[in-house]
Structure 1
Amino acid sequence: MKWITRVQLLMLILLMSACASTSKDITNTADIEQFFHDEHFKHVEGIVQPDELFALSDQAKRSLLSAYQQNRMTRGKNLDAHKWLANYIDADNGGFTYYDNMTKVASETFDERMGNCLSLVLLTGAMADVLGVPVTFQDIAVPPVWDKQGSFFLVNGHINLKLKPKKEANMVTFLSNSIQVDFMPERAVRAYGKEVVDRNTVMAMFYNNVAAESLVMGDYDKAYQLLKTGLTIKPDYVPTLNTLAVLYRYKKMSKQAESVYKFALSLKDEDMNTLYNYAILLASQDRLTEWAEVHKVLELARIRNPYYYYDMAQQAYFEMQYEEAVVWYKRAVEKADYRHEFYFGLSRAYWATGDESRARTNLQKALALTSDDGSKQRYQAKLHAMQSH
Structure 2
Amino acid sequence: MLNALSPCVECVMNRTILLLVIMLTSLFCGCASQAPEPAQDLHAYFHDQHFSPANGLPSADELFDLPDEAVVSLKRELMRSKSFLQQNNVMMHEWLANYINAADGGFRYADNVTRLASDTFNDREGNCLSLVVLTAALAEEIGVKVEFQEIGIPPVWDRQGGFYLVNGHINLKLLPQDNGNVFNISTRSIQIDFLPERAMQGYKKQRVNKSTVISMFYNNIAAEALVDGDYDRAYGLLKLALAEQSHFLPALNTLAVLYRYKGLSSQAEALYQYTLRVNPEDMNALNNYAIMLSAQDRLDEWADVHKVLELARIRNPYYYYGMAQQAYFDKDYQDALLWYKRAIAKADYRHEFYFGLSRTYWVTGDEMRAQQSLKKALSLTTDGQHKRRYQSKLHAMSSH
TM over 0.5: yes
The answer to whether structure 1 residue 122 and structure 2 residue 133 are counterparts is yes
C-alpha contact 1:72 1:79 (8 A) present in aligned 2 = no
Q: Which residue of 2 aligns with 1:188?
A: 199
The answer to whether structure 1 residue 217 and structure 2 residue 228 are counterparts is yes
CA distance in 2, matches of 1:173, 1:264: 48
TM-score (norm 2): 0.67
Judged with a 3 Å threshold, the aligned counterparts in structure 2 of structure 1 residues 24 and 140 are, in CA distance, closer, same or farther, namely closer
Judged with a 3 Å threshold, the aligned counterparts in structure 2 of structure 1 residues 291 and 173 are, in CA distance, closer, same or farther, namely farther
- Residue in structure 2 matching 1:39, options 49, 55, 59: 49
C-alpha RMSD of the superposition: 2.9
Q: Identity rate of aligned residues, in percent? A: 54
The answer to whether structure 1 residue 139 and structure 2 residue 145 are counterparts is no
Judged with a 3 Å threshold, the aligned counterparts in structure 2 of structure 1 residues 52 and 12 are, in CA distance, closer, same or farther, namely closer
Cα deviation code 1:317-370 (max 9, x no counterpart) = 9969xxxxxxxxxxxxxxxxxxxxxxxxxxxxxxxxxxxxxxxxxxxxxxxxxx
CA distance in 2, matches of 1:242, 1:83: 39
C-alpha contact 1:71 1:77 (8 A) present in aligned 2 = no
SS in 2 for 1:34: helix
Judged with a 3 Å threshold, the aligned counterparts in structure 2 of structure 1 residues 318 and 43 are, in CA distance, closer, same or farther, namely closer
Q: Which residue of 2 aligns with 1:90?
A: 101
The answer to whether structure 1 residue 50 and structure 2 residue 66 are counterparts is no
Q: Which residue of 1 aligns with 2:249?
A: 238
Judged with a 3 Å threshold, the aligned counterparts in structure 2 of structure 1 residues 164 and 149 are, in CA distance, closer, same or farther, namely same
- Residue in structure 2 matching 1:73, options 68, 83, 86: 83
- Residue in structure 2 matching 1:265, options 250, 257, 276: 276
Structure 1 segment 264-343 matched on structure 2, within 5 A: 264-299=275-310
Quick check: 199-208 or 106-115, which moved more? 106-115
Structure 1 residue identity aligned to 2:54: V
Query: Which ranges of structure 1 fall in alignment gaps of 5 or more residues?
Result: 1-9, 15-22, 304-314, 321-389
Alpha-carbon distance, 1:56 to partner: 1.5
Cα deviation code 1:65-110 (max 9, x no counterpart) = 1211211123745521111111111111101111122101111111
Q: Which residue of 2 aligns with 1:11?
A: 17
Judged with a 3 Å threshold, the aligned counterparts in structure 2 of structure 1 residues 290 and 104 are, in CA distance, closer, same or farther, namely same
CA distance in 2, matches of 1:100, 1:118: 10
Quick check: 248-257 or 163-172, which moved more? 163-172
Structure 1 residue identity aligned to 2:246: P
- Residue in structure 2 matching 1:105, options 93, 112, 116: 116
The answer to whether structure 1 residue 161 and structure 2 residue 167 are counterparts is no
Cα deviation code 1:35-88 (max 9, x no counterpart) = 111100011111111111112233322221121121112374552111111111
- Residue in structure 1 matching 2:74, options 64, 69, 72: 64
Cα deviation code 1:217-262 (max 9, x no counterpart) = 1101111111111111111000000000000001110110011111
TM-score (norm 1): 0.69
C-alpha contact 1:72 1:78 (8 A) present in aligned 2 = no
Query: Which ranges of structure 2 fall in alignment gaps of 5 or more residues?
Result: 1-15, 21-33, 315-343, 350-400
Alpha-carbon distance, 1:142 to partner: 2.3
C-alpha contact 2:18 2:257 (8 A) present in aligned 1 = no
CA distance in 1, matches of 2:298, 2:196: 44
- Residue in structure 2 matching 1:203, options 211, 214, 218: 214
Moved over 6 A (4+): 172-176, 300-303
CA distance in 2, matches of 1:280, 1:295: 10
SS in 1 for 2:154: strand
C-alpha contact 1:90 1:96 (8 A) present in aligned 2 = yes
CA distance in 1, matches of 2:161, 2:62: 30
SS in 1 for 2:194: coil
Q: Which residue of 1 aligns with 2:5?
A: none
Judged with a 3 Å threshold, the aligned counterparts in structure 2 of structure 1 residues 212 and 318 are, in CA distance, closer, same or farther, namely closer
CA distance in 2, matches of 1:174, 1:284: 62
CA distance in 2, matches of 1:42, 1:95: 40
C-alpha contact 1:215 1:247 (8 A) present in aligned 2 = yes
CA distance in 2, matches of 1:300, 1:96: 39
Q: Which residue of 1 aligns with 2:159?
A: 148
CA distance in 2, matches of 1:283, 1:226: 29
CA distance in 2, matches of 1:262, 1:57: 43
Alpha-carbon distance, 1:301 to partner: 7.7
Q: State the number of aligned residues.
A: 293
Alpha-carbon distance, 1:193 to partner: 2.2
Alpha-carbon distance, 1:298 to partner: 3.4
Structure 2 residue identity aligned to 1:121: V
Alpha-carbon distance, 1:134 to partner: 1.2
